[in-house]
Amino acid sequence: MKPGQAATFGKSAAQFLVGCVRQTVAAKPRAELDDGQLEAVKQWQQVFEHNPVMYFMVDPAGTVINVNTFGAAQLGYTAAELIGRSVLDVFFAEDRDFVRACVALCLETVDQSHTWEIRKVRRDGSVLWVRENAKTMLRADGSPVVLVACENITERKEAENALRQSEAYLAQAQELSHTGSFGWKAATREITWSRETYRIFQCDEGSKPQIPVMLQRIHPEDRLAVQRTTGQAAREGKDYDHEYRLVMPDGSIKYVRAVARATRDSAGHVEFVGSVSDITATKEAERKLRESEQRFRDYAETASDWFWETGPDHRVTLISEHSDTTTPPGVIGLTRWDIAPDADLEPEKWRQHRAALDAHIPFRDLVYRSRDRNGQTIYVRTSGKPFFDADGNFLGYRGVCTDVTAAIRADQAEEALRKAQAELAHVTRITTLGELTASIAHEINQPLAAVIANADACVAWLQRNPPDLKAARRSVEWITEDCKRASDVIRHIRALAKRTEIEMGPLDPNSIVREAVALVQREMARHAVSVRMELSSALPKIFGDRIQLQQVLINLIMNGIEAMEDVRDRPRKLTIRSAADGDDAMLVSVADCGVGIDEQAIDRLFTPFFTTKSGGIGMGLPICRSIIEIHGGRLSAASNQSGGATFQITLPLYREQAS
Ligand code: ADP
Helices within 464-545 (DSSP H only):
469-498, 509-526
Distance 603 CA to ligand 1 centre (A): 12
CB < 8 Å & 24+ apart, contacts of 448-455: 448/482, 448/486, 450/478, 450/482, 451/479, 451/482, 451/483, 451/486, 454/478, 454/479, 454/482, 455/479
The closest-lying atom of ligand 1 relative to the alpha carbon of residue 592 is: 23
pLDDT at 324 over 80: no
Q: Which of 554, 605, 627, 649 best tests ligand 1's pocket when mutated (most atoms within 8 Å of CB)? A: 605
pLDDT at 269 over 50: yes
Q: Which of 574, 621, 640, 646 best tests ligand 1's pocket when mutated (most atoms within 8 Å of CB)? A: 621
The closest-lying atom of ligand 1 relative to the alpha carbon of residue 644 is: 24
Q: At 261, which helix (H) or strand (E)?
A: strand 253-264
The closest-lying atom of ligand 1 relative to the alpha carbon of residue 613 is: 14
**pLDDT for 234:** 94
Report which DSSP code applies to 122. Answer: -
Residue with more model confidence, 84 or 327 = 84
Q: What is the mean pLDDT of residues 619-632?
A: 86
**pLDDT for 3:** 40
pLDDT in tens, 16-29: 554 555 454 444 55
What phi and psi values does residue 267 have, to the nearest 5 degrees?
Answer: -85, 5
pLDDT in tens, 15-63: 455 455 545 444 455 566 677 777 877 887 777 777 788 999 999 999 9
pTM confidence score? 0.42
| Terminal C-alpha separation, the chain | 101
Rg (CA), the chain: 59
Neighbours of 439 (CB within 10 A): 19
Identify which of 324, 280, 283 has the alpha carbon closest to the alpha carbon of residue 301.
324
pLDDT at 438 over 80: no
Burial of 334 (0-12, 13-18, 19+ CB in 10 A): middle
Q: What percent of the chain has pLDDT over 70?
A: 89
What phi and psi values does residue 505 have, to the nearest 5 degrees?
Answer: -170, 170
- Nearest residue (by CA) to ligand 1, atom 23, is 560
Q: How many residues does the chain have?
A: 659
* Cα(548)–Cα(530) distance, integer angstroms: 24
Per-range mean pLDDT, top range of 341-350, 417-426, 490-499: 341-350
Ligand 1 site, CB within 6 A: 559-560, 563, 592, 594-597, 605, 610-613, 616-621, 645
* Cα(228)–Cα(215) distance, integer angstroms: 12
Identify which of 656, 636, 634, 643 has the alpha carbon closest to the alpha carbon of residue 543.
656
Q: Which of 576, 611, 625, 626 best tests ligand 1's pocket when mutated (most atoms within 8 Å of CB)? A: 611
**pLDDT for 307:** 87
The closest-lying atom of ligand 1 relative to the alpha carbon of residue 611 is: 14
Domain annotation for the chain: domains and CATH numbers: 3-157 (3.30.450.20), 169-283 (3.30.450.20), 303-403 (3.30.450.20), 436-501 (1.10.287), 503-659 (3.30.565.10)
Q: What is the mean pLDDT of residues 69-90?
A: 93
> Contact 100/69 with Cβ under 8 angstroms?
no
- Nearest residue (by CA) to ligand 1, atom 26, is 597
> Contact 538/586 with Cβ under 8 angstroms?
no
- Which pairing describes strands 572-581 and 585-591: parallel, antiparallel, or unpaired? antiparallel
* Cα(161)–Cα(155) distance, integer angstroms: 10
Crossing angle of helices 469-498 and 546-563, in 10° steps, is 90
Crossing angle of helices 509-526 and 546-563, in 10° steps, is 30
pLDDT at 365 over 90: yes
The closest-lying atom of ligand 1 relative to the alpha carbon of residue 623 is: 6
Angle at 347 between CA 342 and CA 348, to 5 degrees: 125
User: Strand, helix or coil at 106?
Assistant: helix
